[in-house]
Structure 1
Amino acid sequence: MTPPRRLSAALSAALSLLLLCVPLLGCSPPRSSHIVIGAKDFTEQTLLGELLAQEIEAKTHLKVDRHFYLAGSYICQQALLAGRIDAYVEYTGTALTAILKQPIDRNPQQVFDTVQRLYQQRYHVTVFPSLGFQNTFAMVVRPSTARRLRVTTLSQLVPDASHLRLGVGYEFQTRPDGLRGLEKAYGMHFAGTPRVMDLGLLYRALESHQVDIIAANSTDGPIAAAHLVILKDDRHFFPPYQAVPLVSDAALRRWPQIRPVLASLAGKITAAGMRQMNEEVDGEHRDPAAVIREFRKEHGL
């Protein structure tokens, strides 16, 4: 059937009204009767979002909606302030530099105190104590590269850095605690222009010798699984990145029973434990929800 060449006046008016309404609906905060937990778009964040969601569901019997795979810190922050999500897990160093635009600080307690204070003052968001581990940036090389160059630290890498091809994620290239700051702190420069790619592709690029060194995360599962080498940040450039739940005060007022549940998660995850869970999902292709259920059972949660 040939489609009509003209719409009726009534239909045209209806479509125009619909098009006007769509942006308004898109800007309006949700009116969900459930708690909404957010997460960024990588495996660890999915696991941590699932941990918060499962704990709330188990301990309070409240319904939790999951809004995972949000693009990054900025998107999660905007979603939290707009009321589209009620909570997500952030990292203190990221919060300090990327969100709050504060100078880099390498004292973990001072960073936490600053982040907690400014989130409350500026955004009416409560920062809960650390889940027990930090996920810092990590400069990772193949074992063969570490042996050939005889390096274990970033300082030792400086003379050879200009011969190495670097792979990075999108955020690392632009953040103040990322590439430019690292190069300045160590006086090093890598070969050519860094290859920018999704975090999940970095390890494939390293394994296939497309790059020689990657800016990864210290709790990534493939590091231990592939026996890769993290070069020690011996000048302590990277700030602490403790994993902390962020929850809007509005959500805490609406559902006060979630406060003790989230507080009870403090100190429950080690870096090794987080790395293992990441590998179970990425390397063994297990369901994140099942991995978290198993973790909660093993730890009496």
Structure 2
Amino acid sequence: MLMKYKQIITISLIMTVLFLSACSLTGSSDDNDVKIASMTTTESKIMANMLKLMIEHETDEKVELINNLGSSVVLHQAMINGDANISSTRYTGTDLTGALKEDPVKDPKKAMDNVQKIFQERYDQTFFDTYGFANTYAFMVTREMAEKHHLQKVSDLKDIAKDLQAGVDNSWVNRVGDGYKDFVKKYGFDFKDVYPMQIGLVYDAVEAGKMDVILGYTTDGRIASYDLVVLEDDRQFFPPYDASTLAVNELLEAKPKVKAAIEKLIGKISTEQMQKLNYEADNNLVEPAIVAEKFLEEHNYFEDEEGGKKDD
């Protein structure tokens, strides 16, 4: 079944190269600017805007957003190439087996320790402590599908998997350790067809009936808005995916106030809060920038110690 999406993967990689080449050729920003890259996911965009607002409020720096990068692989390459110097959302489990090509680690603390150590030593980049939420992969189906086939956990798919079309994150399929090959080994079944796509498209695909099952993120607001059923990972296949900021050390050393601004968000956003923020954007159609600003205002990030507004 892996052969069925090789052509799609090849096209995705070609588009990645073309996109990054375009970024390098634009010359629209100064090399000293703070450049925050985000993926196509709502969550990544919200956190990018949150970082932008925090940095601009706490410093005099000019901040540029680089939006809609297709996957964590593209984010990683943008950071290496110098097209970006901050990634708004990086995930321990994703980077450990993807960008770093290490074995998956089930223990959250050990996974965090490993990615922080390796990014420092190998890429001279700082993987900050988590924002406070984990965005774990999970297989999902419509409620109608779940009730029809009595689906509660992933292993319940085994008897019908040969007839199912699955939409999955295009950065997941070829990952070693926690990708599709290893999933098949762990659960003992294969889907009829596997379609890699940008993660933001999988929810619409299953809601519209174009996919039977999808691999999505547990913090996504569309789980609630589309009334999707999250299937339990009963064989504990997926490793932890704690969300964090990643930044190049050159930037942090040259601009220590930027580092201080980033650190103010460490441990401040729970998984439940992130799902609500995503829901606000995806279901209520509020722009990610507005969602980010509202969260910071409601949690008094723009006030000084005396409780008044900080001077801009």
TM over 0.5, yes or no? yes
Instruction: Specify the alignment match of 1:268 in structure 2.
Output: 268
* Alpha-carbon contact 2:71-2:198 (below 8 Å) kept: no
Instruction: Specify the alignment match of 1:181 in structure 2.
Output: 182
Q: Please state how far the C-alpha of 1:39 moved relative to its aligned partner.
A: 1.0
Instruction: Specify the alignment match of 2:118 in structure 1.
Output: 118
TM-score (norm 1): 0.86
Q: Distance in 2 between matches of 1:134 and 1:42?
A: 15
Identical positions, percent: 33
For the residue of structure 1 that corresponds to 2:146, the secondary structure is helix
- Matched letter for residue 125 of structure 1: Q
Q: How is 1:240-255 mapped onto 2 (pairs within 5 angstroms)?
A: 240-255=240-255
Q: Distance in 2 between matches of 1:54 and 1:28?
A: 24
Structure 1 runs (4+) deviating above 6 angstroms are 27-30
* Alpha-carbon contact 2:169-2:199 (below 8 Å) kept: yes
Q: Please state how far the C-alpha of 1:146 moved relative to its aligned partner.
A: 1.6
Q: Distance in 2 between matches of 1:33 and 1:105?
A: 36
* Alpha-carbon contact 1:29-1:83 (below 8 Å) kept: no
Q: How is 1:111-260 mapped onto 2 (pairs within 5 angstroms)?
A: 111-176=111-176, 177-190=178-191, 192-260=192-260
Q: How is 1:32-51 mapped onto 2 (pairs within 5 angstroms)?
A: 32-51=31-50
* Alpha-carbon contact 2:72-2:171 (below 8 Å) kept: no
Tell me whether 197-206 or 45-54 shows the greater mean CA deviation.
197-206
TM-score (norm 2): 0.83
For the residue of structure 1 that corresponds to 2:130, the secondary structure is coil
Q: Distance in 2 between matches of 1:240 and 1:98?
A: 14
Q: Please state how far the C-alpha of 1:74 moved relative to its aligned partner.
A: 2.2
Gaps of 5+ in 2: 1-20, 302-312
- Matched letter for residue 164 of structure 1: L
Q: CA 1:27–1:78 in 2, change beyond 3 Å: closer, same or farther?
A: farther
* Alpha-carbon contact 2:71-2:170 (below 8 Å) kept: no
Q: CA 1:140–1:295 in 2, change beyond 3 Å: closer, same or farther?
A: same
Deviation per residue, 1:273-293 (Å, 9 max, x gap): 212222222222211111101
Q: Distance in 1 between matches of 2:167 and 2:103?
A: 25
Q: Distance in 1 between matches of 2:219 and 2:167?
A: 17
Instruction: Specify the alignment match of 1:76 in structure 2.
Output: 75
For the residue of structure 2 that corresponds to 1:113, the secondary structure is helix
Instruction: Specify the alignment match of 1:61 in structure 2.
Output: 60
Q: How many residues align?
A: 278
Q: CA 1:184–1:278 in 2, change beyond 3 Å: closer, same or farther?
A: same
Q: Distance in 1 between matches of 2:299 and 2:43?
A: 18
Q: Distance in 2 between matches of 1:41 and 1:184?
A: 30
Q: Please state how far the C-alpha of 1:30 moved relative to its aligned partner.
A: 6.2
* Alpha-carbon contact 2:136-2:238 (below 8 Å) kept: yes
Q: Distance in 1 between matches of 2:82 and 2:217?
A: 29
- Matched letter for residue 58 of structure 2: K
Q: CA 1:61–1:29 in 2, change beyond 3 Å: closer, same or farther?
A: closer
* Alpha-carbon contact 1:30-1:83 (below 8 Å) kept: no
Q: CA RMSD in A?
A: 2.1
Q: CA 1:79–1:207 in 2, change beyond 3 Å: closer, same or farther?
A: closer
Q: Please state how far the C-alpha of 1:202 moved relative to its aligned partner.
A: 1.8
* Alpha-carbon contact 1:29-1:84 (below 8 Å) kept: no
